[in-house]
Amino acid sequence: MIVYKNYISYEDYNKNIINISDENIKDYFNYFIIDHNQFPVILPTTRLEINLNQLRKNYKAISNRIGSDIGIISILKADAYGHGLIPIAETLNKLRTSKIGLASIEEIKILRDRNIHTPILLLYPPLLNQLELLLDLNVKITMTDYNAILLLNRLAKKRKKIIKIHIQIDTGLNRFGVKPNKAVTFITNTVKLKNISIEGIWTHFMDAEND
């Protein structure tokens, strides 16, 4: 169960999202063991408390430290690492985070349906049949395959759009990315495409657990 200072929700055993008030959750932890009729749904016995006010303070501290000329990409993949995608994204959206980084189209659609229009970066290379939907969702896309970029360029041309992409370089993690010895040619060829704009180039440290 995840507890937020502004609202509380948990997922029951049937995958339903249940919202509870602050008062009720306090009553649950104080009295549920004595009176099982008070809460007909059995809640988890542990909870994770997310202080959205502290998140705001942390974000502002980082933003002030790096200065207004440097943007912040808030990485919220995998349900904001289990902290709750929607409340975290809504908080950061109000703070005008430069971008939100996500790993799946499903999470992108969730935020767009919540009217969160902060620019979104898809962190993982998409499947070819996902490109049109990503164009509709107005997403910046991580790309690692030149044939996929050619297709994206054709689709963007039909829509009279210029699509911003990020190119991932594989520096040793060996999940996704263009190999370093092919990166210069890859980027040089991509720059020539009229409906593609390279907004960023990034990599992932080779040791995902410790770096």
Instruction: Report the C-alpha gap between 130 and 103 in whole angstroms.
Output: 13
Confidence band (pLDDT; 50, 70, 90) for 206?
A: confident
From residue 81, how far is each of 74, 76, 77 by CA, in Å? 12, 7, 6
H or E element at residue 147:
helix 146-159
Of 1-15, 106-120, 168-182, least confident by mean pLDDT is 1-15
Higher pLDDT, 176 or 24: 176
Quick one: pLDDT at residue 52? 92
Tens-place pLDDT, residues 122-132:
999 999 999 99
Tens-place pLDDT, residues 125-153:
999 999 999 999 999 999 999 999 999 99
**Residue 119 has which token pair?**
């620019």
H or E element at residue 153:
helix 146-159
